[in-house]
Amino acid sequence: MSDERPQLQLDEDFTFACHKGLQCYTSCCRDVTIMLTPYDVLRMKKALGLTSSQFLEKYTHLVQVPGKAMPLVQFRMNEDNDKKCHFVSEGGCAIYEHRPWACRMFPLDEHGMGGFQVVVDGVRCHGLVKGDPWKVRDWLKDQGATQSKEMDGSYESLVSHEWMQEMAGLDNPKVQQMILLSLYDLDRFREFVLGSSFLDRFDLDEDTIFAAKTDDVALLDLGYAWVRFGLLGQKTLKLKEGVGQTEEDK
């Protein structure tokens, strides 16, 4: 069956306006499949005052695709409340400023190389029927999706790396644990960096160590560097003289 929804480029237009009073208001925040990026988790756990472990435990579940190295962290809907998102209220999204990238994109999603697509129709999403004209580029900027995308640039390039895409032999739990720890469970990763032999093994300057102690975004950068060093063999970290790569790094 052919996909008849129009493909859009960054400078093309679509019509949309979402607001209270529409019959569909907040209906799209129920029973929806949303995969969270590391930056999504970082931002939401911080806004909710939770540790990364608490957030992951309460609001996500893990999807493991057989043969794929990259674990997927899925936003958990509230099974006790008709599968609604935990953060939807009558007034809309209770974490609007901190909502995930996928929510910022809606009703668009990425499609193909640099393209976009409206992912619902006007029967479900009334905001598409009568709304304001938007250029895709302006919409993404207005919703903070462009900024989120930039923050998740490392995630994008990691996920699309050919090693991560290979099908065979990558369903190694150790690999997935390393990715989850260093990219998603940042508070635990901080404990690992500061409390294990990590700093004895890797040659990090004082600024990097201070930033990793105090700044989640800097810590996430260190997490990406460790994954790239350990899994992809890239020179993103430097071992101290006389130190060999350990099992933890592979």
Binding site for ligand SF4 (CB under 6 A): 18, 22, 24-29, 32, 85, 87-88, 93, 95, 99, 103, 106-107, 124-127
Q: How far is the CB of 138 from ligand SF4 (least distance, A)?
A: 17
Residue 158 DSSP SS3 = helix
Q: How far is the CB of 81 from ligand SF4 (least distance, A)?
A: 12
Nearer to ligand SF4 (CB atom), residue 61 or residue 124: 124
Nearer to ligand SF4 (CB atom), residue 101 or residue 189: 101
DSSP per-residue string spanning 20-67: TT-TTTTGGGBS---EEPHHHHHHHHHHHT--HHHHHHHHEEEE--TT
Q: How far is the CB of 177 from ligand SF4 (least distance, A)?
A: 27
Nearer to ligand SF4 (CB atom), residue 78 or residue 208: 78
Nearer to ligand SF4 (CB atom), residue 22 or residue 159: 22
Q: What is the largest CA-CA distance in the chain?
A: 66
How, if at all, do strands 92-93 and 88-89 pair?
antiparallel
- Per the DSSP assignment, residues forming a β-bridge with 74 are 35, 61
Nearer to ligand SF4 (CB atom), residue 149 or residue 190: 149
* Residue appearing with tokens 């099974």: 79
Query: By C-alpha distance, which of 163, 141, 147 is closest to 39?
Result: 147
DSSP per-residue string spanning 128-140: GTS-EEEEHHHHH
Q: How far is the CB of 182 from ligand SF4 (least distance, A)?
A: 24
Q: How far is the CB of 27 from ligand SF4 (least distance, A)?
A: 5
